[in-house]
Amino acid sequence: MHSEFDLINRFLAPASTGAAGGVELGIGDDCALFEPTPGERLVVSVDTSVADVHFPAEAPAEAIGHRALAVSLSDLAAMGAHARWCVMSLTLPEADGDWVSTFAKGFHALCDTTGVALAGGDVSRGELAIGVTVMGEVPPAAALTRAGAKPGDCLAVTGWLGGGAGGLARWEAGDRDLAMPLLRRYLLPQPRLEAGMALRGLASAAIDISDGLLADLGHLRHASGVGVELSPEALPLADGLVAALGEQGARQAALRGGDDYELLISLPPECLDEAQQRLAALDLPLTVIGRITAEPGLKGAEASSPGWQHFPGETP
């Protein structure tokens, strides 16, 4: 058994400031203290991952640590932000040092590969949940938002779709081998931070796909006040998805499944080549899946599913 302070000091604090700069004071005081880059805007998001709501409680602890950070970083990616710092709020049913140590390993590993410093946090008793607040920076007026899509723009998506839903299906079917690509897509999503930064100045709007393509496309359409003609046959399907779910299931997973953490963007047609070249340099495809229209609404796919919601209500 470990005390709260012991857990923080032993597992969360080490290597917490890593290679990332700008941390004047990390874990161990009342607050963390950062030196922002002069002239940049501060970009902040929080996501909480609750056991057996957002991820299986019995998933590998290292994957849970990775995933909790990844889903928050995905929001920074969607703004085109440079990820800098994070703070974590961890609630745990018991102080299991082995579990926390492995969890922290997954969290810190993604900190290292993304250059993010874990600079503060708290640990409480409660059901297993991880809240991660991420902070990044972006030059003034360079942030990508949901609101800039224009009629005539291309609609495009990074990477591959349906892997989150496909991986969940394989997990529920009993697969546990994290070498399986679909399971990796579900449990070890890669936030598209470099892609988001590469799309600054090219994308007219952006959102990350966490609730499912159609649901997140709905947010982008409404924020921009535009419509979309979708080309469902163009959706880039995740590796192994058709084998796992069949042709029809794979299409539905790509359209409506959550947890893909790809970027959905709009961009003027004349920017497409440049955007695809920049992402190719990151080994990431950028696939055109539709067109922005002036008339509102969605053509090319039934828009009936609201995507994942915690509290499905009368006014989705």
Residues between 219 and 258 with contacts to its own copies, criterion CB under 8 A? 223
Select the span of 172-180, 181-189, 237-245, 302-310 touching its own copies (CB under 8 A).
302-310
Nearest CB to its own copies, comparing residues 207 and 253: 207
As to burial, measured by CB atoms within 10 angstroms (0-12 exposed, 13-18 middle, 19+ buried), residue 89 is middle
By CB under 8 A, name the one of 111, 119, 156, 267 that touches its own copies. 119
Burial label, 65 (beta-carbon count in 10 A; 0-12, 13-18, 19+): buried
End-to-end CA distance of the chain: 44
Please check if 54 is assigned to a binding site: yes
Q: Which stretch binds its own copies (CB under 8 A): 153-161, 202-210, 239-247, 278-286?
A: 202-210
CA-to-CA distance for 260 and 74, rounded, in angstroms?
10
- Measured from the CB atom, the residue of 154 and 207 that comes closer to its own copies is 207
259 annotated to bind ligand: yes
146 assigned ligand-binding residue:
yes
Residue pair 136/81 in contact (Cβ under 8 Å)? The answer is yes
Cα–Cα distance measured from residue 274 to residue 270, given in angstroms and rounded to the nearest whole number = 8
Q: In the bound complex, what is the minimum distance in angstroms from residue 247's beta carbon to its own copies?
A: 31
Contact 42, 132 (CB under 8 A): no
Rg of the chain over CA atoms, in angstroms?
A: 20
From the list 201, 171, 202, 204, the residue with the least C-alpha distance to 185 is: 171
Closest CB 118 distance from its own copies, rounded Å? 11
Has 52 been labeled as part of a binding site?
no
Nearer to its own copies, 218 or 240 (CB): 218
In this structure, which amino acid lies at residue 311?
Answer: F
Residue 25 binds its own copies (CB under 8 A): yes
Show contacts with its own copies in window 32-71 (CB under 8 A).
Answer: 32-36, 38-48, 50, 53-54
Quick check: 24 binds its own copies (CB under 8 A)?
A: yes
- Picking from 147, 280, 120, 160, the residue whose alpha carbon sits closest to that of residue 203 is 147
CA dist., res. 32 & res. 24, Å (int): 8
Q: Which stretch binds its own copies (CB under 8 A): 151-159, 161-169, 206-214, 271-279?
A: 206-214
Distances (CA, A) of 189 to 106, 183, 192, 271, 314: 12, 9, 9, 27, 31
Q: Is 177 annotated as a binding residue?
A: no
Residues 137-156 that bind its own copies (CB under 8 A): 138, 140, 143, 145-147
Is 208 annotated in a binding site? The answer is yes
Between 24 and 247, CB nearer to its own copies: 24
Q: Binding its own copies by CB under 8 A: which of 12, 102, 111, 121?
A: 121
Token pair listed for 286: 């950028």
Identity of the residue, 141 or 179, whose beta carbon is nearer to its own copies in the bound complex: 141
CB of 163 to its own copies, least distance (A): 20
Q: Which residues are annotated as part of the binding site? A: 30, 45, 47, 54, 75, 121-122, 146, 208, 210-211, 259, 308
Q: Which residues are annotated as part of the binding site for substrate? A: 54, 259, 308
